[in-house]
């Protein structure tokens, strides 16, 4: 198999000589994303009348499960929400609860928490890039077929993911649902020697990430620009990962406590997941938003790589999100090496956290975008209410709008081509509905 990509059809291409047809397209299940759902598209008289992302996976009621629990429990409980980004849930929970309790981490503990989060970014991004997303660009049906033709490339990707997993295991206790995170820090901290031994693995990974990004940059990406607002955490002068304030592409900046004043969730009849709006407008969170709002805070190595592969200071093309993720992998590896070089084992593994009544708000940047937690504690340190807003639910409305545009601009394509284009469009966003393997059933009906 040649190394040149076989890109998806151009989403803005339209052949007016081919009439729109009444037809039905069905994808029983879409692999290479996480979760379960369906997509229903209605085409009426050559136009897309509706595009609904129907999340039919049953609600998991984590917010209800948290009510009545001790204030120390949410970091462990919420990490079970996702096996791919458990650290994000732990850290957002810690941020919210430490805020309401008036707890400030020792600087070495805060740095160690950021290092742990770097491990999750590396592992999660590499899972998506190499096993879920690259097959679309290289013309393969799945990662197994890709590995048969591009063994060295997939091995590089798995080695990168392994480096991220190594950080998660060493600092978090295990790669999936880490058990070493607690309010105020950790149950134990690693010895410097153990982290130093990982540095060479991370350095090799950084070289590989740069090499792969340069190759992927040669792909033929469809020309698409999202016009929606972008929302991400910002933490100048650093590239935001584990904490910060909320920033929008419209120029607003507000603390985590202001999230609910600007972000409103509402139920839609076709989905068990809530939709969200920013002051009444659609918005996107995730790598494109993060990069566009914070690219100036990238490390010199990551900034040089972004320039080298043709990324400007902002990126609004969802098909080029794979490049942004590769830049973020390089950044996370570089940042991890910096944190390891500066690491000295903290004198204590955690600072004391004493509960007090009130409401705490926390945000962090999960690999897929901004993750918000809110907890209300009573005088006994019991959680009375909990609110969790994950990035994928925030992005659903934009994904639906993108699919509407893509289908409307490509009704001339064959059923197979249009179905493949819808699938690859969804995978640009790396949605994480849950930790299962299937996500989308696609049905297009004309009437």
Question: Is 63 marked as binding a ligand?
Answer: yes
pLDDT tier for residue 417 given thresholds of 50, 70 and 90: confident
pLDDT at residue 54, as a whole number: 57
Architecture of domain 55-435: Orthogonal Bundle (1.10)
Determine the Cα–Cα distance for residues 306 and 311; give it in Å rounded to an integer: 5
Dist CA 51 CA 42 (whole Å): 7
Q: Is the dihedral of CA 50, 51, 57, 62 positive or negative?
A: negative
Tens of pLDDT along 154-183? 999 999 999 999 999 999 999 999 999 999
pLDDT of residue 126: 97
**Average pLDDT rounded to a whole number, residues 34-59:** 63
Confidence of residue 270 (pLDDT cuts 50, 70, 90): low
**pLDDT (mean) for 16-23:** 45
Residue 52, pLDDT score: 60
pLDDT in tens, 88-105: 999 999 999 999 999 999
228 is in an annotated binding site: no
pLDDT at 238 over 60: yes
Tell whether the model's pLDDT for residue 313 goes beyond 50: yes
Quote the pTM value. 0.89
Structure tokens at 225: 């620009």
Residue 212, annotated as binding a ligand: no
- pLDDT of 131 strictly over 80: yes
Least confident of 217-226, 287-296, 404-413: 404-413
- Could you give phi then psi for residue 91, rounded to 5 degrees? -70, -45
pLDDT: which is higher, 50 or 350: 350
The stretch 55-59 carries a mean pLDDT of 57
Is residue 438 part of an annotated ligand binding site?
yes
Domain boundaries, the chain: 55-435
Whether 339 and 114 have beta carbons less than 8 Å apart is answered as: yes
445 or 346: which leads in pLDDT: 346
Q: Would the annotation count 315 as a binding residue?
A: no
pLDDT at residue 13 is higher than 60: no
The verdict on whether residue 432 carries a ligand-binding annotation is: yes
126 is in an annotated binding site: no
CA pair distance 246, 407, nearest whole angstrom:
33
pLDDT one-digit tens code per residue, 249-260: 999 999 999 999
- Per-residue pLDDT of 376-397, as tens digits, reads 999 999 999 999 999 988 998 8
Contacts of residue 56, Cβ cutoff 8 Å, sequence gap at least 6 = 36, 37, 38, 271, 272
Share of the chain above pLDDT 70, in %: 83
């Amino acid at each position: 198999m040649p190394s040149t990509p076989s890109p998806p059809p151009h989403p803005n291409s339209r052949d007016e000589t081919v009439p729109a047809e009444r037809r039905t397209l069905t994808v029983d299940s879409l692999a290479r994303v996480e979760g379960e759902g369906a997509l229903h598209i209605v085409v009426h008289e050559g136009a897309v009348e509706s595009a609904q992302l129907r999340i039919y996976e049953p609600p998991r009621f984590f917010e209800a499960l948290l009510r009545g629990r001790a204030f120390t429990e949410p970091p462990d409980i919420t990490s079970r929400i996702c096996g791919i980004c458990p650290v994000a849930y732990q850290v957002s929970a810690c941020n919210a609860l430490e805020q309401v309790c008036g707890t400030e981490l020792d600087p070495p503990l805060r740095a160690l928490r950021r290092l742990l989060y770097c491990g999750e970014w590396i592992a999660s991004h590499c899972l998506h890039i190499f096993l879920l997303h690259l097959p679309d660009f290289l013309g393969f049906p799945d990662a197994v077929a890709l590995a048969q033709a591009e063994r060295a490339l997939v091995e590089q990707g798995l080695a990168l993911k392994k480096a991220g997993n190594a950080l998660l295991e060493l600092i978090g206790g295990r790669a999936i649902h880490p058990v070493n995170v607690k309010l105020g820090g950790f149950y134990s901290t690693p010895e410097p020697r153990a982290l130093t031994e990982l540095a060479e693995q991370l350095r090799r990974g950084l070289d590989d990430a740069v090499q792969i990004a340069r190759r992927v940059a040669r792909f033929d990406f469809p020309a698409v620009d999202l016009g929606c607002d972008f929302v991400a955490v910002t933490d100048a002068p650093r590239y935001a990962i584990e904490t910060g304030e909320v920033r929008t592409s419209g120029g607003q900046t507000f603390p985590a406590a202001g999230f609910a004043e600007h972000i409103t969730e509402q139920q839609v009849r076709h989905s068990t997941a809530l939709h969200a709006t920013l002051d009444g407008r659609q918005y996107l969170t995730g790598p494109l938003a993060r990069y566009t709002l914070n690219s100036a805070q990238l490390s010199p190595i990551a900034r040089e790589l972004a320039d080298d592969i043709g990324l400007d200071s902002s990126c609004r093309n969802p098909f080029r999100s794979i490049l942004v993720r590769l830049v973020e992998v390089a950044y996370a590896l570089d940042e991890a090496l910096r944190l390891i070089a500066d690491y000295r084992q903290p004198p204590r593994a955690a600072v004391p956290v004493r509960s007090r009544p009130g409401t705490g708000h926390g945000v962090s940047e999960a690999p897929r975008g901004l993750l918000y937690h809110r907890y209300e504690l009573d005088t006994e340190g019991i959680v009375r209410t909990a609110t969790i807003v994950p990035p994928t639910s925030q992005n659903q409305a934009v994904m639906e709008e993108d699919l509407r545009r893509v289908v409307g601009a490509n009704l001339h394509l064959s059923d197979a081509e249009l179905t493949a284009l819808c699938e690859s469009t969804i995978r640009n966003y790396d949605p994480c509905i849950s930790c299962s393997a299937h996500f989308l059933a696609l049905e297009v009906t004309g009437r």
